[in-house]
């Protein structure tokens, strides 16, 4: 981790697929939120975080996660429609809100023009007690390096 250009893990690309669209042929309204979460996962991987280390898996009984990161709020705004075959860039802007929560802001761009945006807030909790707790070191460092190197 570290010593890399943050653009490698905070500027991601996607192509709109047929399954992403609704009956009118435009991207279904839920897709921006789905793509946001997928972009976040891809960003963590590109940064060097092993997803099994922060997300529950079927192996959870053999290894207890220290924290869980549920979504507590989300918002999506659409400015222009997207269609099958459109290439989009997804820019990710993490922001730590306090010791136990962070917000992920995503900008969706097509040909340099912003076509949508999402905001997703996560809170770090103890997976057993469900009480808020400090963010894991890995997430904390990812947020810190993202802010220092990109924004």
Per DSSP, the residues of 5-68 read: -THHHHEEEEE--GGGB-TTSBB-TTHHHHHHHHHHHHHHHHHT--GGGTS--GGGGTS--S-B
Longest dimension (CA), the chain: 46
Q: Single out the catalytic residue among 22, 53, 66, 99.
A: 22
CB 45 within 8 A of CB 39: no
Please confirm, yes or no, whether 22 is among the known catalytic residues.
yes
Cα gap 122→130, rounded to integer Å:
13
Cα gap 21→42, rounded to integer Å:
22
Cα gap 41→22, rounded to integer Å:
25
Q: Which residues are catalytic?
A: 22
């Amino acid at each position: 981790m570290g010593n890399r250009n943050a653009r490698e893990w905070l500027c991601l690309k996607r192509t709109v697929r047929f399954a992403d669209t609704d009956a009118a042929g435009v991207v279904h309204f839920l897709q921006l939120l789905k793509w946001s979460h997928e972009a976040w996962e891809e960003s963590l991987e590109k940064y060097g975080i092993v997803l099994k280390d922060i997300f529950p898996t079927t192996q959870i009984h053999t290894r207890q996660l220290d924290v869980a990161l549920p979504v507590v709020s989300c918002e999506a705004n659409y400015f222009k429609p997207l269609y099958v075959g459109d290439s989009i860039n997804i820019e990710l802007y993490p922001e730590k809100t306090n010791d136990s929560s962070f917000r992920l802001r995503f900008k969706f761009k097509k040909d340099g023009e912003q076509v949508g945006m999402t905001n997703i807030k996560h809170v770090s909790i103890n997976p057993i007690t469900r009480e808020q707790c400090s963010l894991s070191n890995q997430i904390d460092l990812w947020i810190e390096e993202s802010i220092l190197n990109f924004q």
